[in-house]
Amino acid sequence: MTAAEIYLKSKLDERQSSGIYRTLKSENELLDFCSNDYLGFARSAVLKNSIDQEIQNHPRSLNGSTGSRLLSGNLKYAEDLEKSIAAHHQYAAGLLFNSGYDANIGLLSSLAQRGDTIILDELIHASAIDGARLSYANRYSFKHNDIESLEAKLKLAKGNCYVVIESVYSMDGDTPPLLDILNITEKYGAHLIVDEAHAVGLYPKGLIADLGLQNRVFASLATFGKALGSHGAIVLGSDTLRQYLVNFARSFIYTTAASFHQLAAVKMAYQLLNGAEQEISTLKNNIKLFKEQISLESLYLLLNSDSPVQCIVLKSNNKARDMANILQNKGFDVRAILSPTVAAGTERVRICLHSFNTADEINKLATIINQFINV
């Protein structure tokens, strides 16, 4: 083994001995209480047919985009799609990225300059942390959803300041006090950026537009790989922001553009979302049902969330793994989220609810959870 391989092997051995070794698992036959396919769009035959139809309606479309958007890969179809998605979320403009990860990286690394400041909620998604790290700005994090902690960091800020939050947090499923955060951000002349990856779907336009706050938010991010059942993302904001990102966001500039197929899938997914009242209402009922079926003892360990993401915090990697194993053995696909992915002491089983989960499945899931907690 070379010196590099010896190093790699030692890091893997370390992971294995602390029980946090990651492996890839193929699809399974278990009941889905794990994926981000909140409204069942990824498995929707209706969506599949409408995407097929859209592709057939564009017989001259290419299999691949052939280049980056600034070279040969731009399509009028992509620009029209950006306009219609921006209008859907009630923003002036939008710019497509190949993933939410790329969008956060491109946005945060290009916006903030040396001497500027980025303040992130401590539970913000890794892609926002990585984007901030790639910038030359000063970085601070504030306690999750804590206005006093945010204000303390705002007092330290220099230059242009950006506060970055999620509207529905991916790991805890909770929603921040948006108005309070906006008010304090504005008081210090800072700019709010909201990642809406897990909110779009539960709120068709995203939570920001749902609350009518889009004019006070500097930029928002919607992703297509979760409730929209597809792949990719868009940064929403002013036309100036869009032009800036076209010029400076490296994860937009230096990558091959999405193919026509992918753009068609996103366009059709948004059309489906516009008529998805039934799926959204079933999803909300399923969230309510799950919370009603959880015993008082389990409720004690359940994080406060009205979103499809529901977490039972077991405070130990072993316990979280044990509960996940029991549920998987009984046919339910749920996953343990272990430290260091989440902070030590907050290890959990993360359950994602969907519009397609049946009442019977949810009742059984809750019963097994209650039995585990009561032992």
CA-only gyration radius of the chain, Å: 21
In this complex, which beta carbon is closest to ligand PLP, that of residue 54 or of residue 166?
A: 166
Closest contact distance (angstroms) between CB of 195 and ligand PLP is 5
Q: Which residue has the tokens 């790991």?
A: 171
Q: Under rule CB under 6 A, how many of the chain's residues touch ligand PLP? A: 14
Closest contact distance (angstroms) between CB of 170 and ligand PLP is 3
In this complex, which beta carbon is closest to ligand PLP, that of residue 127 or of residue 286?
A: 127
In this complex, which beta carbon is closest to ligand PLP, that of residue 154 or of residue 171?
A: 171
In the list 223, 310, 317, 357, the residue contacting ligand PLP (rule: CB under 6 A) is 223
In the list 51, 182, 207, 233, the residue contacting ligand PLP (rule: CB under 6 A) is 233
In the list 50, 65, 109, 127, the residue contacting ligand PLP (rule: CB under 6 A) is 127
Closest contact distance (angstroms) between CB of 57 and ligand PLP is 26
Binding-residue pattern over the window 189 to 218 for ligand PLP, x denoting contact by CB under 6 A: ------x-xx--------------------
CA-nearest of 319, 322, 330 to 367 is 330
Please state, in angstroms and rounded to a whole number, the distance separating the CA atoms of residues 305 and 83. 32
Binding-residue pattern over the window 92 to 121 for ligand PLP, x denoting contact by CB under 6 A: -------xxx--x-----------------
> Does 220 sit near ligand PLP (CB under 6 A)?
no
Strand partners for 162: 118, 191
> Does 125 sit near ligand PLP (CB under 6 A)?
yes
Cβ atoms of 290 and 310 within 8 Å: the answer is yes
Tell me how far CA of residue 74 lies from CA of 222, 232, 253, in angstroms: 20, 15, 11
Letter string b/e over residues 297-313, b meaning 16 or more CB atoms within 10 A of that residue's CB = ebeebbbebebbbbbbb
Closest contact distance (angstroms) between CB of 225 and ligand PLP is 4
Beta strands at 161-166 and 191-195: parallel, antiparallel or unpaired: parallel
Using alpha carbons only, what angle is made at residue 216 by residues 211 and 220, rounded to the nearest 5 degrees? 75
336 φψ region: left (φ > 0), alpha (ψ -120 to 50), beta (else): beta
CA-nearest of 263, 308, 259, 264 to 286 is 308
> Does 166 sit near ligand PLP (CB under 6 A)?
yes
CA-nearest of 351, 283, 285 to 313 is 351
In this complex, which beta carbon is closest to ligand PLP, that of residue 196 or of residue 279?
A: 196
> Does 170 sit near ligand PLP (CB under 6 A)?
yes
In this complex, which beta carbon is closest to ligand PLP, that of residue 163 or of residue 366?
A: 163
> Does 279 sit near ligand PLP (CB under 6 A)?
no
In this complex, which beta carbon is closest to ligand PLP, that of residue 121 or of residue 279?
A: 121
In this complex, which beta carbon is closest to ligand PLP, that of residue 118 or of residue 197?
A: 197
Please state, in angstroms and rounded to a whole number, the distance separating the CA atoms of residues 319 and 31. 21
> Does 352 sit near ligand PLP (CB under 6 A)?
no
Closest contact distance (angstroms) between CB of 110 and ligand PLP is 17
In this complex, which beta carbon is closest to ligand PLP, that of residue 169 or of residue 332?
A: 169
Please state, in angstroms and rounded to a whole number, the distance separating the CA atoms of residues 151 and 230. 37
Dump the DSSP string for 257-322: PPPHHHHHHHHHHHHHHHT-HHHHHHHHHHHHHHHHHS-HHHHTTB----SSEEEEE-SSHHHHHH
> Does 33 sit near ligand PLP (CB under 6 A)?
no
Handedness of CA 250, 128, 261, 87 (dihedral sign): negative
**Nearest residue to ligand PLP, scored by beta-carbon proximity:** 100
**Residues interacting with ligand PLP, by CB under 6 A?**
99-101, 104, 125, 127, 166, 170, 195, 197-198, 223, 225, 233
